[in-house]
Structure 1
Amino acid sequence: MTQRNDRICGVLLLVLAVAYGWGATQFPEPFGGAESVGPETFPKVLAVVLALSSLYLIVKPDPDNAWPKGRIVLELVIAVAVLIAYTLLLQPLGFIIATLLAVGTLCWRMGAAPMRAYMTGAVAGVVVYLLFTYALNLALPLGVFSVLEGS
């Protein structure tokens, strides 16, 4: 029975990977042409990783996995709620603040002290923002910091 659960999960994740990858192809072509890195690159990479992981689950399921119970289910629900909130807050708050809140909350739920958890979120938000903006030349939403964009 448990192997069947892994296979069902693998098939569902594979469907998600295909849909996510297809959605990434719907982005408009970047100004530099088809050869430049555009906004669809990262989602396409994620779709490929998800598809490969899904295929692994389908082909080689875990023989002895048990569904989580009790507190673990609650923590999983909290993690999903944080990720949904992250997507909803990304545009209005901006990447840095939304990432600070999401990563900080997830680190805290995994046992880190609150101050350390949110400092990790702040560092992650700033470092990833700078990496995407300056190394990859991909724009991330600034949200409340959008006043800095005009300067």
Structure 2
Amino acid sequence: MKATDRVLGILLLVLAVAYGWGATQFPVPFAGPESVGPSTFPKALAVIMGLCSLYLVVKPDESQPWGGLRVLGELGLALTILAAYILLLEPFGFIPATTLAVGALCWRMGVRPLKACMTGLLSGTSVFLLFTFGLELALPTGILELH
């Protein structure tokens, strides 16, 4: 498994570099290159992903047994939830879609349903407020839009 972790780390590092380079191609914000703009968050994600991938290359985990079809099913379900999140983000809005996605993923990880829903709601609301008021970046409001 050490070799698998290292190969995955290298592939993720290449992806992080490509993602970071793609983020540099966004237009410069109106207030100048030092201000927060559309490339700020993708650049931060690229740095985090690059550091995590380097960790995989330098310090891979010991061998772990594969979980079989059950794990494959859980991964498929997680991908389905994330695909649904992408499709629901615009029409439902960031807060409801994030509440559903984070809540469902937390529930699949063993959290009780009420706590999973609360985690989703708190996550969606706090990230929405951070982006809207802290970073002044608009996220879709969807069904919560005030007319």
Tell me, yes or no, whether TM beats 0.5. Answer: yes
- Aligned pairs, number: 147
2:114 equivalent in structure 1: 115
How far does the alpha carbon of each residue in 1:25-62 deviate from its partner, in whole angstroms, 9 at most, with x for none?
A: 22222221111111211111111111111112112222
TM-score of the two chains, using structure 1 as the length reference = 0.86
Q: 1:5, 1:65 → 2: CA distance?
A: 11
Instruction: Map residues 35-46 of structure 1 onto 2, 5 A cutoff.
Output: 35-46=34-45
Deviation of the 1:76 alpha carbon = 2.0
Please provide the CA RMSD for this pair: 1.7
Q: Which amino acid aligns with 2:139?
A: L
Deviation of the 1:131 alpha carbon = 1.4
Point out where structure 1 has 5 or more consecutive residues left out of the alignment. Answer: none
2:71 equivalent in structure 1: 72
Q: 1:112, 1:27 → 2: CA distance?
A: 38
Indicate whether 1:97 and 2:96 are aligned.
yes
What SS does the corresponding residue of 2:35 show, helix, strand or coil? coil
Q: Percent identity?
A: 61
Q: Which amino acid aligns with 2:129?
A: L
Q: 1:51, 1:79 → 2: CA distance?
A: 23
Q: Which amino acid aligns with 1:60?
A: K
What SS does the corresponding residue of 2:79 show, helix, strand or coil? helix
Point out where structure 2 has 5 or more consecutive residues left out of the alignment. Answer: none
TM-score of the two chains, using structure 2 as the length reference = 0.89
